Amino acid sequence: QVQLVESGGGLVQTGGSLRLSCAASGRTFRSSVMGWFRQAPGKAREFVASINPSGGSSTYVDSVKGRFTISRDNAKNTVYLQMNSLNPEDTAVYYCNVKMIGYSWSAYWGQGTQVTVSS
């Protein structure tokens, strides 16, 4: 079972930036799609971004396009989420997840990292 540990969250003002990290254990990282999700209070968890195993292709939810950038370092088994121009609607607990191409996202979730954007 892959272990996922998110970090990098915090409190930031509107317009600020944060960089989240997710360290993954396991030997399948380099062949896995990695993704970021978030869950705001009282709302369902939503997809934010994903990146293919090589890092050459990524997908974003419309609300973060142009502001967030997902990247990965396969040598470090780590995926990142650079978040710029943050606004209060980005406030949520952010989680990373993993899947193999053609399969569903893992049912296992890490503890997440809290991002709070003040107005």
Q: Which two tokens stand for residue 119?
A: 């107005």
CB proximity list for 3: less than 8 A, separation 6 or greater: 24, 25, 26, 110
44 exposure class (CB count in 10 Å sphere: 0-12, 13-18, 19+): exposed
| pLDDT at site 87 | 97
Q: What six digits make up the tokens of 106?
A: 């893992």
Give the pLDDT mean for 108-115: 94
CB 61 within 8 A of CB 47: yes
Q: Average per-residue pLDDT in the chain?
A: 95
Residue 107 has pLDDT above 90, yes or no: no
| Confidence label for 95 from pLDDT (cuts 50, 70 and 90) | very high
User: In whole angstroms, what is the distance from residue 59 CA to residue 65 CA?
Assistant: 9
Instruction: Identify the pLDDT of residue 20.
Output: 98
Checking if the pLDDT of 94 tops 90, the result is yes
Residue 1 has pLDDT above 80, yes or no: no
pLDDT tens for each residue of 60-71: 999 999 999 999
**Type of residue numbered 97:** N
Q: What is the pLDDT of residues 22-57, one digit of tens each?
A: 999 977 898 999 999 999 999 999 999 999 999 999
